[in-house]
Amino acid sequence: MMPSRLGVWPPLPLRAYARAPRRELPFPLDRTDCQLFSKARHGLWAALPALGLESGDEVLVPAYHHGSEIEALIQIGLTCRFYGGDEALAPDEAELESLTTPRTRALYLIHYLGFPQEVSRWRRWADERELLLVEDAAQAWLAASAEGPVGTLGDLSLICLYKTFGLPDGAAVLSRVPPRLSDRRPPLGAGVVARRHAAWLMERSSIMSSAGTRIRRERIYEPSVDFELGDPSALASKATRFLLPRIADPGAAALRRANYDALLEELRDVVPSPFAELPEHASPWAFLLESNAREEVVQHFRARGIGAYAFWLASHPATPREKFPEIALRRQRAIALPVHQELTQTAVGRIVEAARTMPRD
């Protein structure tokens, strides 16, 4: 019997339906100007034109990115000016200055893996140059810095709700000039809810995991599909709207940090900067390690029922990859492990034990 399967993405617990809706929801759901799109890329596509950006305008964007955000910017007609940043994945002022032209209108800042950037610094930098600041907190819901919750200081802030909780979809969008929402009826989302529940059961039952493995086909990663904009008018599903007040627990960030710390104790020597030190108010989306034997390490964890995968393997085709060899190396070596709040202590122990015996460079 194979062990229960632990995934990087958070599953949806069955107990969600027994919970009463929360009266007070965490930021940004407590804001009256918070809008819900299906995905963050859709909010980005809708909000930047509302903020006044036009075709031909430029945005300073990190070369280390998922790819879907770059596709959204290109679909709007914007020009991406890529920056590499420093070793800790923060922007570098001198590099930004060298890239800025009279057509530059915005700085795009990513809070990688739930680790907050120094937002106040980049807010000041953008203001001094009359640029917009976009906070991409897709992986950073519930994270905070000295200024407050991540996403507070951006002219546009994007937060993927389904990356922190087992929702079928949903992205919270805060924009200084809110875009117009589609008047289409939101989808039901029942099919994805069923898969999220199945993932939760597979984390707790080897029988369910075995059955799911026989049915489930391993998805082949295709960057062009992963980057697709999709339907930018899509709204968050009815299932997400129903479940959000029942599962949006601010305490999830502390549970994620505790799980992250347990792995960090064992694997600190193979964790790249800036992820080898866990900030006090981070909300880690996954645990990132690096290895020259990436495929061998991934298979080591998967053989033990742990859903490791190559993180951000490909950059968007618009990226001048030859200019950023350090980032290309990150992509070749990066592996993500689960740390989400639905992991039991037994499950965390399994990941730690697998880490102790993983292949080393």
Q: What CATH number should be reported for the domain holding residue 296?
A: 3.90.1150.10
Residues 28 and 113 in one domain: yes
Residue 291 phi, psi (nearest 5): -155, 140
Look at residue 120 and tell me if it is in a domain: yes
Q: Are residues 144 and 277 both part of a single domain?
A: no
Residues 169 and 261 in one domain: no
Q: What is the pLDDT of residue 290?
A: 97
Are the C-beta atoms of residues 45 and 232 closer than 8 Å to each other? yes
217 domain-assigned: no
Cα–Cα distance between 69 and 310 in angstroms, integer? 19
Taking each helix axis as running N to C, give the angle between helix 345-356 and helix 294-302, from 0 to 180 degrees, rounded to the nearest 10. 140
82 contacts 104 by C-beta, under 8 angstroms: no
Statement to judge: residues 157 and 294 lie in one domain: no
Domain boundary among 151, 175, 199: 175
Rounded CA gap, 288 and 260, in Å? 10
CATH number at residue 67: 3.40.640.10
What is the sign, positive or negative, of the torsion defined by CA atoms of 248, 24, 148, 135?
Answer: positive
159 shares its domain with 272: no
Identify whether 43 is part of a domain. Answer: yes
3-state secondary structure of 73: helix
Residues 6+ apart with CB under 8 A from 136: 40, 69, 108, 109, 110, 111, 158
205, part of any domain: no
Question: Domain count of the chain?
Answer: 2
Q: How far apart are CA 223 and CA 176, in angstroms?
A: 32
- Contact in structure between 259 and 342 (CB atoms under 8 Å): no
Distances in whole angstroms, Cα of residue 52 to Cα of each of 46, 71, 155, 177: 11, 19, 12, 9
160 & 261 share domain: no
Which residues have a Cβ under 8 Å from the Cβ of 223 and sit 6 or more positions away? 67, 313, 314
Among the three residues 140, 175, 210, which one is the final residue of a domain in this structure? Answer: 175
Q: Is residue 152 part of a domain?
A: yes
| Structural domain boundaries, residue 288 | 252-356
pLDDT of residue 218: 57
Q: Which of 252, 253, 290 is nearest to 274 (CA)?
A: 290
Q: Please report whether residue 291 resides in a domain.
A: yes
Q: Which of 175, 207, 225 is the last residue of a domain?
A: 175
Yes or no: say if 327 and 358 are a contact pair by the CB < 8 Å rule: no
Query: How many Å apart are CA 18 and CA 80, to the nearest integer?
Result: 46
pLDDT at 204: 86
DSSP state of 289: E
User: Average pLDDT of each block of 10 consecutive residues along the chain (361 residues)?
Assistant: 84 95 96 97 98 98 98 98 97 98 98 97 98 98 94 98 98 97 93 95 74 54 89 96 97 98 96 97 98 97 95 97 97 98 96 95 78
Cβ atoms of residues 323 and 273 within 8 Å: no
223 domain residue, yes or no: no
Q: Do 38 and 147 fall within a single domain? A: yes
74 found inside a domain: yes
- Say yes or no: 36 and 168 in one domain: yes
Residues 6+ away with beta carbon under 8 Å from 139: 111, 112, 113, 114, 160, 163, 285, 286
